[in-house]
Amino acid sequence: MTPQTAEAINTFSKELALHAYRQMVRIRMFEEQVNELYTRALMPGLAHLYSGEEAIAVGICEALKKEDYVTSTHRGHGHCLAKGATPNLMFAELLGKEAGYCHGKGGSMHIADPATGNLGANAIVGGSMGIATGAAFSAKYLNNGLVAVCFFGEGALGQGLLYEVLNIAQLWKLPVIYVCENNLYNEYTHYSETTAGDICARATAFGVKAESVDGQDVQAVYSKAKQLIDAARAGDGPAFLLCNTYRYTGHHVGDINRDYYRTKQEEQEWKTRRDPILLHGERLLQEGLTDKATLDALESEVREEMKAAVEFAIAAPYPALEEVEMHVYA
Amino acid sequence: MPETTDRELTFAQAVREALAEEMRHDSRVCILGEDVAEAGTPFKVLSGLVEEFGTNRVFDTPISEAGFTGIAVGAAMTGIRPVVDIMFGDFLTLTMDQMVNQAAKIHYMSGGKWKVPMVLRTTLGASRRSAAQHSQSLHAWLCHVPGLKVVIPSTPADAKGLLKTAIRDENPIIFFEDKMMHHKLKGLVPTGEYTIPLGVADIKRVGKDITLVATSSMVQVALGAADMLAEIGISAEVVDPRTLWPLDEKTLIDSAKKTSRAIVIDEGYGRYGVTSELASVISEGAFYDLDGPVLRMGAMHVPIPFSPPLEDLTVPTEKMLFDAAKKLCSKS
């Protein structure tokens, strides 16, 4: 589980550094299995992969307590895992099985888990910004010391809700961090075609402090997140963190022919030179925190974990048909 | 309901009393909306609450309906019980993603793991000469969405008892108040603690010849029409569903079976609206006992006009209902 970090803001303990590496590998391998399930036609619906962006979910969530809140996006598997969800129940949800987090009624785009503070992934772009801000509102109202993180992609910068809640969050000094994952593409369109002006200026216009960070560097994300989260918890109000990153695959798994909006060369460069797992692994080796054999063993372990989780999900039964009318009302 | 009905309150006073009692009863209950604190809303429904509970319980928001409704959704999920005030029902349009895609879906999509115990209070009704963007009755929209409950009281006593129940409910609830009733409509309200369950219709007047199913402001119209009908020897029963979802189908059907005739009247648009649904429920449930078709009366299918004589044409009146009821009774 997430180690509670008491060390100085800008340093990763050895334990945390290794844990962050494992978490990123778990997300990558989870998504590899999702891709396989989808292409084998075992998974219904849509699959939006997070591969390439792992350092953000892990860097942010390692700086949170288990009880802190997150809201997520349609590309939400990474946030969910990083916040502490169990792959077995996630895969079961992806396949629409009873054992899934939502009894198979949410699917890939809607996994929610109160046990880890996960208020839910959201299939409306920008749709969870109110919910995250509301969780911060309740944290302040109840004075329980919790913080909410709202993950969203740069495509959500076009949604007006963001500006409504930034305004209110700053007025009321709510403990919420808006984490913008700029993976460069709003679905199939480069963000420069959709996004006028400066991204961080959107937040600073409301007096909300805004920072940007290399979203491929888990340690950098963690350090920034830790500062902003600790400040929010202490009563400083909201913050905005722009994480610059890249989406390795298409908008969804079926988005195969991407030549009309980006080049294979661009993808290749990010994968080979800017990969968050490779970068962090190199750092671990350079700093002597681990060795290659240990990392290889870790990857094998995680691969087995994910394979076993998929097998669990495939073997799990579908919900009883009576489930269809359950949970419409509480 | 207790028998002690020793006070006459306006509709607004009854709403305010319900909120005050629930806020005293549960510190998690708070109010969010535009001009809800010192101003007590432009309709002065909430006057006095901020004086008792302070600005830490009664929150003046920016004019930002999607924002503060969304905040209420997240707040409700995480341990408090917000009551949102949407000044005019027309502005529901601005909250629709938060209510329809978020609040209504979260319990289901999470497999029952998250709950959204919030109440959104808003208004309906024309005849304030406010033109087409401040006069609509859009409650049918919300009834169409599974996961939401829709409450539409017609008297001060009902408003108080139903609002208290709504605040204690674990689901997202839309509570519609007719803006013409806030200060004009008075009624006896019990002094003691009471609540009214959702999904229980109320027979506002007992009759035997025709059933008039009426909602919100149209209950007074139906009672007026029933008086007129009585003068010509027709005994009309007035049934108020009080909540549109959950809906007390049985009381509606039983009344229509008893009287053998029914007219449904609601201030929402007549087409594809609440009256269509209620008429279908009665037709399906009481068809073999009916002596004629179930008639519907709603607002005209036009944007509500500004000019007083034009606006007055759009809303059903006692005379229109009287004429329709008389005709229906004479045919069968």
Distance of CA A123 to the CA centre of its chain: 14
- Quick one: average pLDDT of A242-257? 96
pLDDT tens per residue across span B252-287: 999 999 999 999 999 999 999 999 999 999 999 999
- Quick one: average pLDDT of A226-240? 98
How crowded is residue B69: how many other Cβ atoms within 10 Å of its Cβ? Answer: 32
Catalytic residue numbers of B read: 134
Longest Cα–Cα distance in chain A: 56
Chain A residues within 8 A of B78 when measuring between CB atoms:
69, 119, 134-135, 138-139
A69 has a chain B CB within 8 A of its CB: yes
Please determine, for residue A129, whether its predicted confidence score (pLDDT) is greater than 70. yes
Verify whether the Cβ–Cβ distance B66 to A164 is below 8 Å. yes
B55 has a chain A CB within 8 A of its CB: no
B64 has a chain A CB within 8 A of its CB: yes
A27 has a chain B CB within 8 A of its CB: no
Chain B residues within 8 A of A131 when measuring between CB atoms:
70, 73-74, 77, 102
- Quick one: average pLDDT of A71-99? 98
- Quick one: average pLDDT of B145-169? 98
Q: What is the reported pTM?
A: 0.95
A110 has a chain B CB within 8 A of its CB: yes
Above pLDDT 70, what percent of chain B? 98
- pLDDT score recorded for residue A6: 42
**What is the nearest CA distance from B46 to chain A, expressed in angstroms?**
21
Tokens standing for residue A234: 């202490």
**Is the model more confident about B6 or about B56?**
B56
Distance (Å, whole) CA A168 – CA B68: 8
- pLDDT score recorded for residue A11: 66
A275 has a chain B CB within 8 A of its CB: no
- pLDDT score recorded for residue A12: 80
CA-nearest residue to A122 within chain B is B102
- Residue B33, SS3 per DSSP: strand
- pLDDT score recorded for residue B42: 87
pLDDT tens per residue across span A153-179: 999 999 999 999 999 999 999 999 999
The DSSP code for A4 is P
Cβ-contact B215, B241 below 8 angstroms? yes
A102 has a chain B CB within 8 A of its CB: yes
pLDDT tens per residue across span B298-309: 999 999 999 999
Please determine, for residue B125, whether its predicted confidence score (pLDDT) is greater than 90. yes
**Of B218, B237, B206, the residue nearest B176 (C-alpha):** B218
What's the half-sphere exposure (Cβ side, CA atoms, 13 Å) at B59? 25
Please determine, for residue B128, whether its predicted confidence score (pLDDT) is greater than 70. yes
Please determine, for residue A183, whether its predicted confidence score (pLDDT) is greater than 70. yes
**What is the nearest CA distance from A298 to chain B, expressed in angstroms?**
32
Verify whether the Cβ–Cβ distance A69 to B78 is below 8 Å. yes
- pLDDT score recorded for residue B1: 52
- pLDDT score recorded for residue B307: 96
Q: For all residues of chain A together, what is the average pLDDT? A: 95
- pLDDT score recorded for residue A3: 41
Verify whether the Cβ–Cβ distance B74 to A102 is below 8 Å. no
- pLDDT score recorded for residue B127: 81
Least CB-CB distance to A130: which of B28, B59, B98? B98
Verify whether the Cβ–Cβ distance B74 to A133 is below 8 Å. yes
Q: Which of residues 217-246 of A touch B (CB under 8 A)?
A: none
Tokens standing for residue B179: 């803006």
- pLDDT score recorded for residue B189: 96
Give the confidence band of B332 by pLDDT, cuts at 50, 70, 90: low
**Of B230, B84, B217, B99, the residue nearest B158 (C-alpha):** B217
- pLDDT score recorded for residue A228: 98
Verify whether the Cβ–Cβ distance A106 to B146 is below 8 Å. no
- Quick one: average pLDDT of A183-188? 97
Distance (Å, whole) CA B242 – CA B197: 10
Cβ-contact B326, B261 below 8 angstroms? no
Above pLDDT 90, what percent of chain B? 96
Verify whether the Cβ–Cβ distance A130 to B77 is below 8 Å. no
Q: Which of residues 117-146 of A touch B (CB under 8 A)?
A: 119-120, 122, 124, 127-139, 141-142, 144
Instruction: Specify the range with the lowest mean pLDDT, choosing from A8-22, A26-40, A63-77, B123-137.
Output: A8-22
B76 has a chain A CB within 8 A of its CB: yes
**What is the nearest CA distance from A268 to chain B, expressed in angstroms?**
37
Distance (Å, whole) CA B293 – CA B284: 11
Verify whether the Cβ–Cβ distance B114 to A120 is below 8 Å. yes
**Of B197, B152, B176, B146, the residue nearest A330 (C-alpha):** B146
Please determine, for residue B183, whether its predicted confidence score (pLDDT) is greater than 50. yes
